[in-house]
């Protein structure tokens, strides 16, 4: 297919596809999905080989958020039966992080619900970062605390944070349809603050909220302009008790096309499969490793994920290897200036950002999935809803399980 040959050539040169080409990837048929995966896989392997970076989420403060993001189980007015608790103490968070590191995670993502941190919150998180680094000197730490005020990114950097995550989520044109308590511009501003402070910025999107192909292309092109080091791709988990509970719009093939489009537009950045991986990709998760070079290990923020052991087996069985702490994630031209070289064209020619390994939007999916994928016995999923419909395009509420272990509980984490 001429389109795919063209996109591979552009990806190997870090050349931006046209919007028409990006839209054409999303418009390919299910019959062509393996060809699309194979083409985008060439770009992924060129820049990242067969390495898969593992990231681990720690939900520092769960629920009771004053923001009204429609996709989020922690939003204002949510009736989802998620765990609700206030700030974990630094030793509790460090213990949770250690479980992820022991499971093979290279990065720990510290997430807290809320509009944004107070200065006291930044002190709390700074103490937590220091505690984690004392136990695991080589681990990368990413913070995801919402909208940043002036000077806060610098304080997190000085405490030892490596990255900051704040997702754009959807296109600027449709942002007001999913959130009214803050703006798209607020999110862009926070990503820019993280980058300006020297943090590696992560910013990504949520697919499956009823958006059009044009919206998906718009947000990915905007991300390229921001130039993050990492782009988490979340697939909406329609949590019962949220406004988007009935939005089951994704198929495994659709998810693969979205990931391929992101890889073609952002060829040399860390593309992470984030929230909704287990729910929407299901048995086709291994194919997605040919497109993305990063995943979350174990559970998400408010939902359960595939067992950590199963994640590791999946990576190995698909012929990939877990990226070690002694390996640099990003290509040399992006790391020459430090955590990420934003001066060159990278995944984006823009003003730059940095990266997170995606620790997530404050809403649901993961990079921080405040929704989740199921793990273990999906027949006992906590979220109520319609009966499972195993067929293609059906609502798989049986795969949505509220997290009841790990951070904020007395039970062992899934890592």
Specify whether 359 is catalytic: no
Specify whether 367 is catalytic: no
Specify whether 144 is catalytic: no
Task: Given the residues 75, 107, 124, 202, select the one marked as catalytic.
Answer: 202
Task: Given the residues 272, 277, 334, 396, select the one marked as catalytic.
Answer: 272
Nearest-10 crossing angle of helices 252-265, 213-226: 30
Task: Given the residues 14, 44, 51, 72, select the one marked as catalytic.
Answer: 72
Cα atoms found within 13 Å of the Cα of residue 97, Cβ hemisphere only: 30
Task: Given the residues 14, 51, 109, 347, select the one marked as catalytic.
Answer: 109
Residue-wise burial string across 330-356, b where 16 or more C-beta atoms lie within 10 A, e elsewhere:
bbeebeeeebbbbeebbbbebebbbbb
Instruction: Tell me the backbone φ, ψ of residue 50, rounded to 5 degrees.
Output: -115, 25
Cα–Cα distance list, 388 to 248, 303, 379, 383 (Å): 12, 18, 9, 12
Specify whether 109 is catalytic: yes
DSSP 240-282: TTSTTTT-----HHHHHHHHHHHHHHSTTSEEEE-TTIIIIIG
Task: Given the residues 142, 266, 359, 375, select the one marked as catalytic.
Answer: 142
Specify whether 272 is catalytic: yes
Long-range pairs for 146-149: beta carbons < 8 A, 24 or more residues apart: 146/67, 146/112, 146/113, 146/114, 146/115, 146/116, 146/117, 146/190, 146/362, 147/115, 147/116, 147/182, 147/186, 147/187, 147/189, 147/190, 148/116, 148/117, 148/190, 148/193, 148/194, 149/116, 149/117
Task: Given the residues 65, 266, 339, 367, select the one marked as catalytic.
Answer: 65
- DSSP 8-state secondary structure symbol assigned to residue 85: B
44, containing H or E segment: helix 33-48
Q: Report, as residue numbers or ranges, the catalytic residues.
A: 65, 69, 72, 109, 142, 202, 272
């Amino acid at each position: 297919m001429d389109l795919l040959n063209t996109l591979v050539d552009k990806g190997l040169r870090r050349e931006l596809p046209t919007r028409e080409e990006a839209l054409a990837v999303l418009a390919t048929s299910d019959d062509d999905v393996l060809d699309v995966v194979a083409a985008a896989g060439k770009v992924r392997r060129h820049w990242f080989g067969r390495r898969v970076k593992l990231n681990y989420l720690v939900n520092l403060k769960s629920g009771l958020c004053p923001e009204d993001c429609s996709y989020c189980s922690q939003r204002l007015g949510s009736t989802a039966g998620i765990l609700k608790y206030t700030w974990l103490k630094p030793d509790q968070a460090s213990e949770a992080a250690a479980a992820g590191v022991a499971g093979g995670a290279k990065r720990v993502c510290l997430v807290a619900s809320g509009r944004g941190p107070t200065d006291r919150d930044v002190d709390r998180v700074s103490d937590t970062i220091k505690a984690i680094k004392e136990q695991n000197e080589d681990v990368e730490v990413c913070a995801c605390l919402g909208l940043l005020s002036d000077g806060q990114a610098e304080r997190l950097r000085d405490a030892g944070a490596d990255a900051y995550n704040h997702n754009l989520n959807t296109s600027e044109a449709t942002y007001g349809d999913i959130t009214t308590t803050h703006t798209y511009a607020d999110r862009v501003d926070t990503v820019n603050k993280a980058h300006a402070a020297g943090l590696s910025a992560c910013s990504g999107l949520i697919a499956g909220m009823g958006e059009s192909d044009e919206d998906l292309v718009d947000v990915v092109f905007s991300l390229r302009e921001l130039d993050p080091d990492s782009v988490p791709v979340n697939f909406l988990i329609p949590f019962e008790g949220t406004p988007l509970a009935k939005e089951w719009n994704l198929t495994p093939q659709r998810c693969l096309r979205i990931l391929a489009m992101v890889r073609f537009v952002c060829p040399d950045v860390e593309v992470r499969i984030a929230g909704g991986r287990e729910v929407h990709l299901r048995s086709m998760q291994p194919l997605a490793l040919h497109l993305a070079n990063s995943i979350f290990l174990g559970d998400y923020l408010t939902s359960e994920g595939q067992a950590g052991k199963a994640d590791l087996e999946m990576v190995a069985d698909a012929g990939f290897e877990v990226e070690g702490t002694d390996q640099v994630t990003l290509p040399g031209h992006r790391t020459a200036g430090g955590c990420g070289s934003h001066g060159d064209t990278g995944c984006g020619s823009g003003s730059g950002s940095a990266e997170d390994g995606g620790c997530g939007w404050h809403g649901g999916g993961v990079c921080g999935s405040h929704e989740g994928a199921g793990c273990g016995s999906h027949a006992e999923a906590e979220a109520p809803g319609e009966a499972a419909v195993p067929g293609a395009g059906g609502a798989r509420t049986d795969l949505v399980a509220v997290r009841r272990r790990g951070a904020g509980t007395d039970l062992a984490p899934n890592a």
